[in-house]
Amino acid sequence: MALISNLFLEQIFYFLKVSNMKQTQRGFTLIELVMVIVILGVLAAVALPKFVDLSSDAKTAAIAGAAGALSSAAAINYAAAMAKNAGSYAVAGATPATNLIANMASWDATNFKVSSQAACGTAGSGVGVTLTHGGGTTANSAVATIVCTG
């Protein structure tokens, strides 16, 4: 009887030992999960301020693009005037940018305003015009060069 009970106990211990060896880890430990959350929090704290103030960069880029478009339109208009094209507009007087913008079909007057402009001199002379982004600060401004037609 002792031999049978010893054999029985050995088989039970062997079964428990084998079943413990077959167990595999499932999932992550709490420490691993906490470390991932901490790392993500640090990355978010570092990266978030970089993306928060993109509206200022967008306004600066938009006003620079509008200034380039106005300069390009003035150059094309001057070339058309020199070629005696009937489609050119007179860009002269005290407000040359206002004269040119009045004839531009796609100008966004609500967002881009002329804050300062110099009077035109002779035909072919360039005049600096400062544009600002709709009620923006001087940080959101750009200078366009307008070529006077005379």
> pLDDT for 92-111, tens place per residue?
888 888 888 887 778 887 87
More reliable by pLDDT, 30 or 5: 30
Lowest pLDDT segment from 1-5, 22-26, 84-88 = 1-5
Grouping H, G, I as helix, E, B as strand and the rest as coil, residue 139 is helix
Could you read off the pLDDT of 109-120 as tens digits, one per residue? 787 888 888 888
Take residue 39 and report the two structure tokens written for it.
């790392």
> Residue 130 forms beta bridges with which residues?
116, 143
Q: What is the pLDDT of residue 10?
A: 74
- pLDDT per residue over 17-72, tens digit each? 655 555 566 788 899 999 999 999 998 888 877 777 777 778 888 888 988 988 89
Domain boundaries, the chain: 56-147
d(CA 130, CA 141): 7
| C-alpha–C-alpha distance, residues 42 and 44, integer Å | 5
Closest to 112 (Cα-Cα) out of 146, 74, 61: 61
